[in-house]
Structure 1
Amino acid sequence: MAEVILRHIAKAYAGGPRVINDVNIDVKDREFVVLVGPSGCGKSTLLRMIAGLEDITDGDLLIDGQRINERAPKDRDIAMVFQNYALYPHMTVYDNMAFGLKLRNMASDEIRQRVTNAASILEIENLLDRKPKDMSGGQRQRVAIGRAIVRNPKVFLFDEPLSNLDAKLRGQTRIELQKLHRDLQATMIYVTHDQIEAMTLGDRIVVLRNGDVLQYDTPLALYNQPANLFVAGFIGSPPMNFLPGRIVSSDKEISFESSDSTVRIDLSMSAHQAALAPYEGRDVMLGIRAEHIREQPIGLSQRNYSAETATLIDAVEHMGSEILAYFTIEDRRFVAKLPGDASVTFGQPISLFWELDKLHFFDTQTEQAIR
């Protein structure tokens, strides 16, 4: 397998603006890296540049230490799995998987061994004589992956391969892809707009917006230490709650006060005090995840929580093991993730506690995290 390095990669179409801006990414040998972001962020374009299907305007692309900007796709030793499977409808599964190897004039015994091994890994040995029309979407996706495996490439590229599958099958296939990565010990780069796919599959995740890399880190780091407002709101389900306000101080006490003074949180005993001191009198954005808003300060001392916030429940979603309770603060919809046995109902008044050490603060001008 191989390391993939992108150095100052940029892409611009003739007569138009840049769609990829100065991207710098190192994908380690045998690492599973996910490119994620909203539609139009440039993730598929970036993947196609690695594959050689899009020209690189500026920068250097290296695979296994060699610059390959001008190499044709067939000479890059990569295999790509597309969203639409791209199987030949008149061929059997065996012939679909073997076709690329036959074009290379590989010996038939070697082809048979590679196809059989790939089919075994993907558990599709019983499908080798079928044609695509006789299979489910999940089975066809496995065949498309198998066609990539038989090539034994240095790098696997996946372009939203699960987007045509239903929710249950997507979940099953995510697990199969994790197992496949472990079994093959392969370098994989995967594009998706689904942050749940990104969080569950990636060793590291690249978050893109408008052609820029906003953060490149492990799933837990993105979730617990988002670098900016966009990443904080994009990663996580339900999304992070946000509340605008300002940092105020009096009598050596530093606090966050919401824009309409509905919420005031004493930060003098929190880990945020030093980082927020330069923001006295300035606007900031507070963020908190749903699971860090609780009915009671269970398991932690009272000092680890902000003063309770009294509110009315707007809506309740029972998820079985947990309850999503929605409420409004200063015209902003908030959600708290409560235990499944919590007794909350629509229109009920409730007092909620916010975990002080789980709060996030962002500069409203730069949108960067304050740390």
Structure 2
Amino acid sequence: MAEVKLMHVAKSYEKGPRVIRDVNITVKDREFLVLVGPSGCGKSTLLRMIAGLEEISEGDLLIDGQRVNDVPPKDRDIAMVFQNYALYPHMTVFENMAFGLKLAGLPKNEIRQRVDRATKMLEIEALLDRKPKDMSGGQRQRVAIGRAIVRNPKVFLFDEPLSNLDAKLRGQTRIELQKLHRELNATIIYVTHDQVEAMTLGDRIVVLRDGDVVQQDTPINLYDRPATQFVAGFIGSPPMNFIPGHISQDSPIRFISTGGQVQIELVNVPQADRLLPYKGQPITLGIRAEHISDQPVFAQNVHRQPVTIEAIENMGNETLVYCLLNNGQLIARLAAGYLAPFGQQVDLFVNLDKCHFFEAQTGLTI
């Protein structure tokens, strides 16, 4: 397989602003890298630039150490799987998977061997004589993936391949893609706007926003140590709770939310020393739903917060509790079966060891 390196890559259209700005990413050989971000952030454009379907305005793209900016797509040894499958409707599964190999002039027996190997890997041997109209969305997506596999490319590119599938099938196909990566030992670059896909599939994740790389790291590091408030809110479900406020000027220092409903003494939080220069300044406190409990179970470093319950979602294995604050909403992930009357005031306990703090103006983590 291959290493893919983007060095100061940028993209702009005529008389328009840059849609990709100074991107630097190294995809290691055999790595599963996920590009994630909201719609319009540039992730699909970046993937198309790697594939050669979009020109690179500035910077260099290297595959296995070779600069390929001006190399035609067909000569980059890359296979791409699209969101809409892009299968030929008049061809059978076998013909769709074999088409590119026939154009390359491969012998018939080698074409058959490659198609047989891919169909067994994807468990679609029984579909070889079917046409796309006779298959489900999940089956069509497997065929599209199989068509990429038979080419034995250096790099696989996936552009939101699961977005047309229902929730159950997306879950099943994510597992199949994990297995496929292990079996192929392939370099894969995968684009999605779904942070669950990103967290479960990627060896490493690149978070994009408005054409810029905001952070690139392993899934667990992105979740536990987000570099910005945007990353903290984008990665994780439900999203991280954000409470705007400021740092008090008195001692010991405290975080005081806008409206004053939340007041937390900060002496024992891990970031205490870093928060001292922010006395009197606005900041945002972040806390994930699973770090809030209805019992003081977080040893000594807890904050008791009275809240009013607005709504409860019983998920079976857990309960999501939505609480009113005078400056917004707080979501807590509590044990299954938790019940409390709507509108009732209850005490929740915040694990101060798990709090995050962000600069109000820049959104950077403190």
Q: Is the Cα–Cα contact under 8 Å of residues 241 and 289 in structure 1 kept in the other structure?
A: yes
Matched length: 366
Matches within 5 A, 1:4-153: 4-153=4-153
Would you say 1:305 and 2:297 are equivalent positions?
A: no
Rate the CA distance shift 1:184–1:345 in 2: closer, same or farther, 3 A.
farther
Instruction: Name the counterpart of 1:350.
Output: 346
Instruction: Name the counterpart of 2:336.
Output: 340
What is the CA distance between 1:345 and its match in structure 2?
Answer: 3.2
What is the CA distance between 1:363 and its match in structure 2?
Answer: 0.6
Instruction: Name the counterpart of 1:323.
Output: 319
Would you say 1:265 and 2:238 are equivalent positions?
A: no
Instruction: Name the counterpart of 2:277.
Output: 278
What is the CA distance between 1:133 and its match in structure 2?
Answer: 1.0
For residues 198 and 74 of structure 2, the distance between their equivalents in structure 1, rounded to whole angstroms, comes to 28
Instruction: Name the counterpart of 2:223.
Output: 223
Name the SS of the counterpart of 2:220 in structure 1: helix
For residues 264 and 312 of structure 1, the distance between their equivalents in structure 2, rounded to whole angstroms, comes to 16
Q: Is the Cα–Cα contact under 8 Å of residues 222 and 231 in structure 1 kept in the other structure?
A: yes
**Any runs of at least 4 consecutive aligned residues in structure 1 with deviations exceeding 4 A, and if so which?**
none
Read off the aligned partner of 2:360 and give its amino acid letter: T
Name the SS of the counterpart of 1:297 in structure 2: coil
For residues 223 and 318 of structure 2, the distance between their equivalents in structure 1, rounded to whole angstroms, comes to 20
**Structure 1 residues 161-180: Cα deviation after superposition (integer angstroms, max 9, x where no partner):** 01111111111101100110
What is the CA distance between 1:116 and its match in structure 2?
Answer: 0.4
Q: Is the Cα–Cα contact under 8 Å of residues 35 and 192 in structure 1 kept in the other structure?
A: yes
What is the CA distance between 1:331 and its match in structure 2?
Answer: 3.3
Q: Is the Cα–Cα contact under 8 Å of residues 243 and 327 in structure 2 kept in the other structure?
A: no
Would you say 1:235 and 2:250 are equivalent positions?
A: no
Q: Is the Cα–Cα contact under 8 Å of residues 60 and 67 in structure 1 kept in the other structure?
A: yes
Q: Is the Cα–Cα contact under 8 Å of residues 92 and 129 in structure 1 kept in the other structure?
A: yes
Matches within 5 A, 1:191-210: 191-210=191-210
Read off the aligned partner of 2:269 and give its amino acid letter: S
Name the SS of the counterpart of 1:200 in structure 2: helix
**Structure 1 residues 242-280: Cα deviation after superposition (integer angstroms, max 9, x where no partner):** 1111112434x1211112211110110121111111111
**Structure 1 residues 180-212: Cα deviation after superposition (integer angstroms, max 9, x where no partner):** 001101000001111111111111111111100
What is the CA distance between 1:93 and its match in structure 2?
Answer: 0.5
Read off the aligned partner of 1:10 and give its amino acid letter: A
Instruction: Give the one of 358, 361, 365 matched to 2:357.
Output: 361
What is the CA distance between 1:90 and its match in structure 2?
Answer: 1.1
Q: Is the Cα–Cα contact under 8 Å of residues 311 and 350 in structure 1 kept in the other structure?
A: yes
In the superposition, the TM-score normalised over structure 2's length comes to 0.98
Name the SS of the counterpart of 2:253 in structure 1: strand
For residues 195 and 294 of structure 2, the distance between their equivalents in structure 1, rounded to whole angstroms, comes to 28
Name the SS of the counterpart of 1:112 in structure 2: helix
Read off the aligned partner of 1:305 and give its amino acid letter: V
**Structure 1 residues 1-27: Cα deviation after superposition (integer angstroms, max 9, x where no partner):** 001100000000011110000000011
For residues 120 and 110 of structure 1, the distance between their equivalents in structure 2, rounded to whole angstroms, comes to 15
Q: Is the Cα–Cα contact under 8 Å of residues 259 and 327 in structure 2 kept in the other structure?
A: no
Instruction: Name the counterpart of 1:177.
Output: 177
**Structure 1 residues 55-104: Cα deviation after superposition (integer angstroms, max 9, x where no partner):** 00000000111110000000000000001111111111111100000001
In the superposition, the TM-score normalised over structure 1's length comes to 0.97
Name the SS of the counterpart of 2:248 in structure 1: strand
Name the SS of the counterpart of 2:213 in structure 1: strand
Q: Is the Cα–Cα contact under 8 Å of residues 308 and 325 in structure 2 kept in the other structure?
A: no
C-alpha RMSD of the superposition: 0.9
For residues 263 and 161 of structure 1, the distance between their equivalents in structure 2, rounded to whole angstroms, comes to 43
Read off the aligned partner of 2:325 and give its amino acid letter: I
Instruction: Name the counterpart of 1:247.
Output: 247
Sequence identity (%): 67
**Structure 1 residues 277-307: Cα deviation after superposition (integer angstroms, max 9, x where no partner):** 1111111011111111111122x32x2112x
Q: Is the Cα–Cα contact under 8 Å of residues 9 and 21 in structure 2 kept in the other structure?
A: yes
Read off the aligned partner of 1:230 and give its amino acid letter: F
What is the CA distance between 1:221 and its match in structure 2?
Answer: 0.9
Q: Which moved more, 1:92-101 or 1:263-272?
A: 263-272
For residues 261 and 136 of structure 1, the distance between their equivalents in structure 2, rounded to whole angstroms, comes to 55
For residues 314 and 208 of structure 1, the distance between their equivalents in structure 2, rounded to whole angstroms, comes to 33
What is the CA distance between 1:150 and its match in structure 2?
Answer: 0.3
Name the SS of the counterpart of 1:250 in structure 2: coil
Gaps (5+ residues) in structure 2?
Answer: none
